[in-house]
């Protein structure tokens, strides 16, 4: 009888703990937030991007790179491998062009996630860094962009034990970058348990051929990462903490935390306006809906802009919101020339007028 009582108490305690963790997770996922519509004028779906557009990055001349076809366990996915597109934002046709891949690259397992472009100041060569998840592992592909041929030449694949759950990346050299690990664990089951337990164990890693190190940690879910126009600061979005962190770069590429800015949403990727320094973030206004994926109650989308982020009073503005009837699961937003690109994890992509 005594053993039965003890067993019952243990089961009750576990159930109570699990219930408390689920309640906490729902709060972090903003499960009770009602979705509204706050649309921009003249929004048009971009062609050829019906399998998601998880990340977008724009060069100073208006050429955008877009990753599409990301596959996650339990998430909607397209058939076939992932792809990279380019889009000339100075061309009024707004037509994404699929970039050709070299024959020596394993395209069948290509599963692109976060991307970052780097222009070599010595010869203007453009390199595209792509987080790749073949067989749901993590590695970084480095490509050289050949614009005349719409071609990505594969330079190398980077693997490292510190790059075990990579989400996003920002290149700072031809073979160096910062990257976010969005989980502490690499096993799929443990990755699922991690947010339930509310562990703030994810991190940011600096990589170069001679130096690999964790440079910032303590995030619930380190996601988007980017760099300021003057290259002096790194920005990191923590999805489950609803904020963006501002970190100062040191000469040895270590990072020092300066502050965090509250966003009020589960923000994914970060893009930085090269002229103004404004941050543009694609966000999930109700993360619980993204987990559940109920076709009758779809997850919505949100775009947030942060101005004057280094001031004492940064300006945080909601630029776009949708309740899922138009756009599902926004993951990135990037502005150029009065236009705003909005990408999604597995849905379509939009281009809208800002002015």
**98 labeled part of a ligand binding site:** no
**296 labeled part of a ligand binding site:** no
**22 labeled part of a ligand binding site:** no
Q: With CA atoms as reference, report the closest residue to 287 among 246, 235, 324.
A: 324
Burial of 97 (0-12, 13-18, 19+ CB in 10 A): middle
Question: How many residues would you count in the chain?
Answer: 355
From CA 332, how far away is CA 268, in angstroms rounded? 7
Q: How large is the C-alpha radius of gyration of the chain?
A: 20
**91 labeled part of a ligand binding site:** no
**268 labeled part of a ligand binding site:** yes
Residue 34: count of CB within 10 angstroms of its CB: 8
**141 labeled part of a ligand binding site:** no
CA-to-CA separations, 280 to 107, 275, 342, in angstroms, rounded: 31, 13, 10
* Residue numbers annotated as active site: 113
Q: In what order do the strands lie in the sheet with 126-132?
A: 112-119, 126-132, 139-146, 151-158
**24 labeled part of a ligand binding site:** no
**54 labeled part of a ligand binding site:** yes
List the binding residues for Ca(2+): 54-55, 115, 167-168, 223, 268-269
């Amino acid at each position: 009888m005594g053993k039965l009582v003890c067993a019952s108490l243990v089961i009750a305690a576990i159930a109570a703990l699990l219930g408390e963790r689920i309640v906490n997770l729902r709060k972090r996922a903003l499960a009770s937030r009602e979705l509204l519509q706050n649309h921009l004028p003249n929004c048009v779906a971009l062609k050829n991007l019906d399998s998601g557009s998880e990340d977008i990055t724009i060069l100073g001349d208006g050429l955008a790179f877009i990753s599409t076809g990301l596959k996650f366990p339990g998430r909607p996915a397209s058939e076939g491998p992932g792809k990279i597109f380019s889009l000339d934002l100075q061309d009024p046709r707004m037509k994404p062009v699929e970039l050709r891949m070299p024959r020596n690259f394993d395209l069948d397992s290509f599963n692109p996630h976060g991307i970052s472009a780097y222009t070599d100041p010595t010869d203007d060569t453009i390199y595209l860094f792509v987080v790749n998840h073949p067989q749901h592992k993590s590695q970084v592909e480095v490509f050289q962009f050949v614009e005349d041929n719409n071609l990505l030449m594969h330079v190398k694949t980077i693997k490292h034990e510190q790059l075990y759950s990579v989400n996003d990346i920002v290149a700072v050299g031809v073979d160096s970058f910062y990257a976010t690990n969005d989980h502490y664990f690499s096993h799929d089951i443990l990755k699922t348990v991690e947010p339930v337990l509310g562990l703030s164990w994810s991190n940011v890693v600096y990589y170069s051929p001679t130096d690999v190190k964790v440079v910032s940690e303590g995030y619930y879910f380190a996601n988007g990462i980017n760099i300021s126009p003057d290259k002096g600061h790194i920005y990191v979005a923590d999805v489950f903490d609803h904020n963006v962190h501002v970190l100062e770069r040191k000469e040895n590429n270590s990072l020092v935390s300066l502050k965090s800015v509250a966003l009020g949403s589960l923000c994914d990727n970060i893009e930085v306006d090269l002229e103004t320094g404004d941050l543009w973030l694609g966000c999930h206004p109700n993360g619980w809906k993204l987990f559940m994926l109920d076709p009758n109650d779809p997850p919505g989308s949100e775009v947030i802009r942060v101005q004057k982020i280094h001031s004492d009073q940064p300006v945080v503005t909601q630029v776009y919101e949708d309740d899922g009837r138009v756009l599902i699961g926004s993951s990135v937003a990037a502005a150029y020339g009065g236009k705003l690109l909005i990408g999604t994890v597995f849905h379509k992509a939009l281009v809208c007028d800002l002015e």
